[in-house]
Amino acid sequence: MIRISTQQMFSNGISRLQSLNANLQKTEEQISTGKKVNRASDDPVAAARILKLDQEVARIEQYQRNAGLAENRLNQEEGALTGMVDVVQRIRELTVQAGNATLSDKDRDSIASELRQRLDQLGNLANTRDASGEYIFSGFQGDTPAFGKNISGHYVYQGDEGQRFLEIDEGVRLAISDHGKGIFVDIPSAHTTFFAEASATNTSGAQISTGMVLDQEAYDGFVDSLSGDDLIVRFQDDGLGGLNYEVVAKSEPEPKTVLATGPYSSGDSIVFEGIQFEITGAQLGDTFDIKTSGRQSMFTSIEKLIYGLENQPLTPAQATIDGTTGFVPNTGDVMYINGVALGPFTAGDTVADLDAAINANIELKNAGVSSELNGNQLVITGQGQDLRISGADESVTPAVTTWTGDLTVGGGKFEDLSIVGGVGVAAVNVGSGQQAYYDLIADSLINLDNIQDSILLTQTELGGRMNAVETTSDFLEDSSLYSKDIRSQLQDVDYAEAISTLSFQSFVLQAAQQSFAQVSQLSLFDRL
């Protein structure tokens, strides 16, 4: 027989009520929090798995935020590049229009004015900022505008060559930016060209124009002779209160060889070896860099086009021959104009005979070459092209001399033709402002096509990255849903089951309380 003391009976009853109440409170907590596992002690195994799943979900959400940031940056870059393509296309239309030979100077000035507006529009697009205010084309220099204007008013790149990457999934790093140097600066040029810039050490505030190539063949030969070296324009006192300019090779040690020199007048054109530019406000000690390159920035290409529209006169090529001493042929002498033979002449022929021969030649007429006697001087004009006048047949190699008398032709780009007794400078190139202008238009169209190709190539790369972001985002979304589903199965409460359990536990607790109340009133004294 087991004896149960009153104290033991009360202790067991209270313990049972406390246990039932604890279970009830646990169920109530699950319902209020919506979680089956609120602390590790509830289910140690499930709690460990839930912790790992929480970490996995947090990692996925971080990658999703990164993917969203990457998508926003790439979309913003794509928008800026699309805007640039539209602007460049408009510039190309204006360039084609500028090539119309019937345009007046006022028409060309009007085109140049719109080109300047389009140029600044490109500058604004190149300096696009992201949501945080950083310039998207500046590389790592996000606080610095990608492009700014130097002291001469020309656009220059101010960023670096950094490319930003963002991890959008484990082991997946994606480029979210492209530096402006690669897209807008390192663009192949139609021909070898140059970029003119004032030295950073100048204190005078002097400016140099963007300039242009007048004679590509002459400039190419000059560049080749220097092995592509850059040039420096510097100034020397002329001893008369003025300055002389000097052009020297940049890498040559002192004393440098002077490649070109002349009196300096602020704002006047400096022309040598097939190129032209102007320097304004220079003082003694100032230097300017002429950087030779086969590549040219988008902005420089358009600036040179504007320069040509505003500064290059559409003058025909004109050569002059003095009627007294400039044309003294021997019998059988033949001369050539742009490869077309004239003659043979006979001893005693005059410039009037040459004039007649030129104007009677159908091939020259069709090519826009004509001549006119102006007093005792013969003026030979080439419309829309340079003139090449030679006393030798240059269709064969080596050229065969065909002039044995005297012949002097003025107006040459660099030197005049001068033959005396069949000996001397046997050929001359006479420059045409029209030819230089139309060459600029043709080169500008090629440069604009190269600009569009560079932008479109970047857009293609952007499309690939945006596809990668989209694919990765879809994968992350699936992974997130999967992880959250498993975590839900382990952690989330089944409300129907929990409420049913709560009702049952409440009933049991209530019954136990009533039972304990009655049992606690029992006493042996009731049986005496």
Q: What is the pLDDT of residues 33-59, one digit of tens each?
A: 767 666 766 668 877 887 888 888 899
State the average pLDDT over residues 392-401: 92
How far apart CA 233 and CA 285 sit, in angstroms, is 10
How far apart CA 520 and CA 392 sit, in angstroms, is 138
Q: How confident is the model at residue 97 (pLDDT cuts 50, 70, 90)?
A: very high
Token digits of residue 510: 């209530």
Higher-confidence residue of 450 and 12: namely 450
State the average pLDDT over residues 84-95: 97
How far apart CA 120 and CA 113 sit, in angstroms, is 11
* Domain ranges within the chain, ordered by starting residue: 1-34+493-527, 54-150+162-174+436-478, 187-311, 317-431
Coil, helix or strand at residue 142:
coil
Q: How confident is the model at residue 9 (pLDDT cuts 50, 70, 90)?
A: low
| CA-based torsion, 131, 135, 139, 141: positive or negative | negative
Indicate whether 332 pLDDT > 70: yes
Indicate whether 232 pLDDT > 90: yes
How far apart CA 215 and CA 195 sit, in angstroms, is 16
Three-state SS across 233-270? Answer: EEEEECCCCCEEEEEEECCCCCCCCCCEEEECCCCCEE
Select 54-150+162-174+436-478's CATH number: 3.90.1150.10, 1.10.220.10, 3.10.20.30, 1.20.1330.10.
1.20.1330.10
How far apart CA 391 and CA 404 sit, in angstroms, is 8
Q: What percent of the chain has pLDDT over 70?
A: 87
Q: What is the pLDDT of residue 258?
A: 94
At 68, which amino acid appears? G
How far apart CA 33 and CA 30 sit, in angstroms, is 5
Indicate whether 382 pLDDT > 80: yes
In sequence order, what are the residues at sequence separation of 6 or more whose Cβ sits closer than 8 angstroms to the Cβ of residue 233?
A: 208, 245, 246, 247, 270, 279, 287, 288, 290
Flag the least confident range among 180-189, 259-268, 393-402, 504-513: 504-513
Q: Which fold has domain 317-431?
A: Alpha-Beta Plaits (3.30.70)
Q: Give all strands (DSSP E) within 273-316, no chain letters.
A: 275-280, 287-295
State the average pLDDT over residues 9-34: 67
Indicate whether 281 pLDDT > 80: yes
**Strand 172-175 versus strand 188-198 pairing type:** unpaired
Question: CB neighbours (10 Å) of residue 117?
Answer: 10
